[in-house]
Structure 1
Amino acid sequence: MTTVSPTTSSRWWSLGLVGVTCLGIGFAIGLTVGSGDESIPAAAPEPSTEVAFTDDTTPTDEYDFGGSEPLPVTDDFDAELRILSKECFGSAGCNVVVSVEPIYVGDGDLTALDQSLTVTYEIIGAEEPHINNFSLMGDRVMVSPEEMVQIPTSDTELSVEITDVF
């Protein structure tokens, strides 16, 4: 008669348990992946919102914005940058607080528009891109009174570029 030590018996139980667990996991994966069941509906494709224009019109040519004036474009705006304060830290650069003062240089009458406009601008010369916007409705302009940017050296020039009007 052969006697089995308790350590050999517990090894067989452990091996058997691991084998059954692996077999169960493999069976579940096989059912999920290899079932070939087409009864699960595929996700419906997203509806397309793209509009194809076949002539020389743009989307805004046919939309009535409520006024007789055409919408302004980026060239219709400019901005001045005023430095309110500057604190420098040697080779670490400077923190600069600025204010952006929008200027309308276009020919149209903005008060004739029945919608608000948002004008996006970028402050050029800052260590990291600094993009913000101002909004206007008629003769009212809403702009951030102060903005802080970092510049690499104390003699870095800052400027403003109008990038979008919508």
Structure 2
Amino acid sequence: MEEKTEVIPEMPPVPPVPPVLPATPERTRRRTVIAMIVGAVIVAAVSSGITALLVSGSSRESAGPRPTSAASSPAAPVEDPGDVAAEAQESYNDSPTSKDFELTLKTTEKQCFGSAGCNITVEPHLSYLSVTSLDPEKTLSITYEVRGDESGPVIETMELTDQDQLTYDPVSITTPGRLTKVTAKITDVTVSSLS
């Protein structure tokens, strides 16, 4: 008997399987879309701004030179910088109103009792909003109303002296519920001279 050998044809090599790319998360897609929209808006704004400048520049050139007046007006008197500084220092807000201030409350103590409400202690935080300074020789009595107490608004008065020295008493209230918002509103500002 003869031995038979069978030749098995060689198989071509198996190509590597490409790695499966993870799906792009929804957030990344959303950010990409938002970035593209923002970019388009910026490009549109810049191009319209340049177009407006070109159009307005060409209309000025086509209008021709502007006429000039033959007669000259007298120059405005020059003020001494020392006088201007002295005037600025002496200018005060002599009659401030509640609109010149912003009042917020800072909670310093809070004790809640389930759904029954909370005992809260607050202190006023006052900000002066006007550009004109307050007179340091004047005392301001600022009356304000604290809202949120179960019995109704609580009215208090604080005093402001030397432009930044605030004297007040903390306010203790009891709210009807745990989620009751406590707010404050200035109701009156009275100015008096320091004695």
TM-score (norm 1): 0.53
Moved over 4 A (4+): none
Correspondence for 1:132: 156
Correspondence for 2:100: 76
Correspondence for 1:118: 141
Structure 1 unaligned runs (5+)?
1-65
Aligned length in residues: 100
Q: Output the CA distance in 2 between the equivalents of 1:67 and 1:114.
A: 13
Q: Output the CA distance in 1 between the equivalents of 2:93 and 2:107.
A: 34
Q: Output the CA distance in 2 between the equivalents of 1:141 and 1:147.
A: 19
Percent of paired sites with the same residue:
31
- CA offsets per residue over residues 106-141 of structure 1, 9 Å max, x none? 22211x353211011111222222111111122232
Q: 2:131 aligns with which of 95, 99, 107?
A: 107
Question: Which of 1 and 2 has greater Rg?
Answer: 2
Q: Output the CA distance in 2 between the equivalents of 1:88 and 1:76.
A: 35
What is the 5 A alignment of 1:1-166?
Answer: 69-110=93-134, 112-127=135-150, 128-144=152-168, 146-166=170-190
Counterparts in 2 of 1:101 and 1:152: CA distance versus 1, 3 Å: same
- What is the identity, as a one-letter code, of the residue corresponding to 1:74? S
TM-score (norm 2): 0.46
Structure 2 unaligned runs (5+)?
1-89, 191-195
Would the aligned equivalents of 1:73 and 1:164 in 2 still touch at CA under 8 Å?
yes
Q: Output the CA distance in 2 between the equivalents of 1:139 and 1:115.
A: 8
Q: Output the CA distance in 2 between the equivalents of 1:141 and 1:101.
A: 12
